[in-house]
Amino acid sequence: MAAVTKLFAERLQAWKHAVAYLEDYVTATEKTNHAHGKEYERVLKTVKDPLKEGHHFDQSLGGIAGMFENIRSNTQGLSNQHYETAKQLKGTILPVFDRLHTEIKNKSKELTKGAGKGSKAVDKARQQTQKHIELLGQHAAAFDSHHGTLKATDDPYVISRGVTHRLHKQIQEENNNRQDLISVQNSFAQFEAHIIQTVQQGMGQFQVVMNTQAEQIKAAYTDMVGTAQRIPMDFEWNGFIQRNNTILIDPSAPARSLADITYPNQNHRATQPLISGSLEKKGKIMRSYDTNYYVISPAKFLHEYKTDDDLAKDPVPEMSLYLPDCIIGAVNGQKFNVKGKDVSKGKIGGAFSMTHEFAFKAHTPQAAAQWYEVIKQAAGTVTAEMPDASVPNSPVTDDHVAGGATQPTPLQIQDLEKTGTNTTQPGSAVPGSATTAPTSAVQGEPGKY
């Protein structure tokens, strides 16, 4: 019978340890959720600050800034949810298993006090019976050896009846203990059913708590992803364009044109040529004429350019004659000569420059006369010396022009004596001076063109 009691005690111990495992599991899960709550607070810190260069993003809902606000809100919710789960596990689920653990302990005490006590009584009765049986054996042997001479108390008959009495008492104790153990055994089946039912209830409540957490976590991440996916592809760009429409380039606006730009002193009288157009100049070596573009400026320089194009490359004069230091001869038809020094290389280059006589030829006698009159007003010396009347080879002839060759640059003239006025000069397409200069060619940026 003691073995049965011991077996039941071991079984209760096994159940107690099983429930303790569940307690430990719930406790560890509670601590993990509490730790996760703290970890999500750390996660939240990664996005809690406003976006760097945040002014580049639309601050209204529906954009990137709104997405990060949604992430912050949901991440805070995830942290709170883990704290709440830890609270529910500790306050609701863990007590279920704690109480069950206590019930198993009480059941062990009940077994010890009930069936355990009966088992001790049986053991005691068995010991007493065993002693009388041994005593009977001793006195029965003595009876045989002493031929019946014994004390009355040692009479085997008396002792045998005592054994019968003690056996009867032992059997009663065993039967009582047996009945107790049967009751315990039957109650164990019910108690184990209660244990399993309680475990199922506790795990069911555990599932509810964890499912609630899982659903809220899923909802939080679904909301975060959904918020990001609902951002229109052009939402941020359109907002950026609207916020910076005064800075960004309007693609519908026309491109800048040189003709639309004005700048200070653009039409100053010193910038307007007295006469300009194409002339032919005799070469120093080949002695043939080459056509170039020439300008006489109000500063009294005769400048030579390859062309009248200011755009293809920086228009630097190929030659410059300062007319007050030059000598001009008389006109002979289309020809006239100017004697002077090329000063286009500045002071240093001019110091080594030699004085040459340059032979020019206009395209018509009338054009030659116009050039001559302007040069004569600016020249330092005027002579009556006539240029050579012979006509050398020229790249431009009347036949070439008639055959479709490039037309000479139109001649533009203005009077040297009137360049100080603010009126349009006769023969010129541009005014002599601009008294009012614009401050800027770029809107909102003074001094830029």
The 10 Å Cβ neighbour count of residue 54 is 12
The predicted model scores a pTM of 0.57
The tens digit of pLDDT for each residue in 52-101 reads 888 888 888 889 999 999 999 999 999 999 999 999 999 999 999 999 99
pLDDT band at 395 (very low <50, low <70, confident <90, very high): very low
Distances (CA, A) of 128 to 116, 162, 176: 19, 10, 17
Give the model's pLDDT for residue 30. 97
The tens digit of pLDDT for each residue in 370-384 reads 999 999 998 888 888
Q: What is the CA radius of gyration of the chain?
A: 62
- Closest C-alpha to 393, from 361, 369, 345, 425: 361
Give the model's pLDDT for residue 347. 65
Give the model's pLDDT for residue 13. 95
Highest-confidence segment of 8-22, 145-159, 179-193, 426-440:
8-22
Give the model's pLDDT for residue 245. 87
Give the model's pLDDT for residue 431. 36
CB 312 within 8 A of CB 293: no
Res 400 pLDDT > 60: no
Q: What are the DSSP calls for 75-131, one per residue?
A: HHHHHHHHHHHHHHIIIIIHHHHHHHHHHHHHHHHHHHHTHHHHHHHHHHHHHHHHH
Give the model's pLDDT for residue 351. 58
Give the model's pLDDT for residue 113. 75
Give the model's pLDDT for residue 404. 40
At a CB cut-off of 8 Å and minimum separation 6, what does 319 contact? 303, 304, 342, 344
Helix (H, G, I), strand (E, B) or coil at 407: coil
Res 4 pLDDT > 70: yes
Highest-confidence segment of 297-301, 396-400, 407-411:
297-301
Of 416 and 190, the structure prediction assigns the larger pLDDT to: 190
Give the model's pLDDT for residue 114. 65
Res 131 pLDDT > 60: yes
Res 201 pLDDT > 60: yes
The tens digit of pLDDT for each residue in 133-179 reads 988 888 788 787 876 677 788 788 888 898 899 889 888 877 887 77
Res 393 pLDDT > 50: no
CB 435 within 8 A of CB 422: yes
Res 392 pLDDT > 70: no
Helix (H, G, I), strand (E, B) or coil at 165: helix
Give the model's pLDDT for residue 348. 59
Q: What is the mean pLDDT of the chain?
A: 84
- Closest C-alpha to 259, from 441, 16, 39, 49: 441
Spatial separation of the C-alpha atoms in residues 363 and 407, rounded to whole Å: 10
Of the chain, the percentage scoring pLDDT greater than 70 comes to 84
Of 416 and 430, the structure prediction assigns the larger pLDDT to: 416
CB 338 within 8 A of CB 325: no
CB 139 within 8 A of CB 152: no
pLDDT band at 308 (very low <50, low <70, confident <90, very high): very high
Helix (H, G, I), strand (E, B) or coil at 424: strand
CA angle 251, 253, 259 (to 5 degrees): 130
pLDDT band at 391 (very low <50, low <70, confident <90, very high): very low
Spatial separation of the C-alpha atoms in residues 202 and 156, rounded to whole Å: 65
Give the model's pLDDT for residue 233. 94
Q: Of how many residues is the chain composed?
A: 449
Q: Say how far residue 21 (Cα) sits from the centre of its chain.
A: 47
Res 396 pLDDT > 60: no
* Full set of structural domains in the chain with CATH: 2-238 (1.20.1270.60), 268-418 (2.30.29.30)
Give the model's pLDDT for residue 437. 45
| Diameter over CA atoms, the chain | 198
DSSP summary character for residue 332: B
Give the model's pLDDT for residue 284. 78
Helix (H, G, I), strand (E, B) or coil at 11: helix
pLDDT band at 432 (very low <50, low <70, confident <90, very high): very low
Spatial separation of the C-alpha atoms in residues 411 and 77, rounded to whole Å: 84
pLDDT band at 349 (very low <50, low <70, confident <90, very high): low
Identify residue 447 by its one-letter amino acid code.
G
The tens digit of pLDDT for each residue in 336-346 reads 999 999 998 87
Res 230 pLDDT > 90: yes
Spatial separation of the C-alpha atoms in residues 269 and 431, rounded to whole Å: 8
Mean pLDDT for 194-206 is 97
